[in-house]
A and B are shown apart, each in its own frame.
Chain A
Amino acid sequence: NAGVTQTPKFQVLKTGQSMTLQCAQDMNHEYMSWYRQDPGMGLRLIHYSVGAGITDQGEVPNGYNVSRSTTEDFPLRLLSAAPSQTSVYFCASSYGSGHLSPLHFGNGTRLTVT
């Protein structure tokens, strides 16, 4: 039972490069989200989706783009990487709404932008 799968686990980018962080879940969860974790800042919500075709911004959306074409996948795109985007990124999903049910997290992607 895979749960939430994130790829890659590690990534190094140069400033200005773009890339996509992949997230897939096999639990048929409607809700999916992306958080970033920075030292001393906790987890901050980037974008979220309540179902296929529906996405919305969280607390720190600038510099990121998302789409939700299927229930299973929720990729996060960095349009033009900046050193401030160096962080650990977590994808999460839940049954029903994201504020009522426990979130299932992926194992994270550690991104370094030089």
Chain B
Amino acid sequence: AQKVTQAQTEISVVEKEDVTLDCVYETRDTTYYLFWYKQPPSGELVFLIRRNSFDEQNEISGRYSWNFQKSTSSFNFTITASQVVDSAVYFCALSEIMNYGGSQGNLIFGKGTKLSVKP
């Protein structure tokens, strides 16, 4: 069965520290997609990144970077030089295919990691 584990329930850092949010997944699918979403205190859910299982290159976007390692089934998210505005709950999600052809599916979410960045 598909499963996403975010073992870190809450993390607290001081501004400008680097922080890594862990995501470990289990899947029966040979092709799959991984996502990260951000939920700031205002409550909306914001898409950050999508990665497919064939692309193991790390990705960097400004202060954000993602490390995808198939060998360890992990898709970790690092924020460099954290800022107060990074305070949010971050969710990792995994695709779940619902039909044999792979054309239909849903997202399975982890339980989230609450990041607090203090000034």
A residues touching B (Cβ–Cβ < 8 Å)?
Answer: 33, 35, 40-45, 48, 50, 56, 58, 88, 90, 92, 97-105, 107-108
A107 to B45: give the CA distance in the assembly, Å: 8
B45 touches A90 (CB 8 A): yes
Please give, as numbers and ranges, the residues of chain A lying within 8 Å of B45 by CB-CB distance.
43, 90, 92, 103, 105
A33 touches B106 (CB 8 A): yes
Scan residues 56-108 of chain B and give those whose CB is less than 8 A from a CB of chain A.
91, 93, 95-98, 103-108
B residues touching A (Cβ–Cβ < 8 Å)?
Answer: 6, 9, 33, 35, 37, 43-45, 47, 50, 91, 93, 95-98, 103-112
Majority secondary structure of chain B interface residues (helix, strand, loop or mixed): strand
Return the contact of B104 from the options A44, A97, A108 (Cβ within 8 A): A97
A42 touches B91 (CB 8 A): yes
Return the contact of B33 from the options A41, A44, A58, A100 (Cβ within 8 A): A100
A35 to B103: give the CA distance in the assembly, Å: 21
Q: Least Cβ distance of A60 to chain B in Å?
A: 12
**Which 5 pairs of residues, A with B, have the shortest CB-CB distance?**
A99-B105, A99-B95, A42-B111, A102-B47, A105-B45
Q: Least Cβ distance of A94 to chain B in Å?
A: 9
Please give, as numbers and ranges, the residues of chain B lying within 8 Å of A103 by CB-CB distance.
37, 45, 47, 107
Q: Which of B37, B91, B106 has the largest number of chain A CB atoms within 10 A?
A: B106
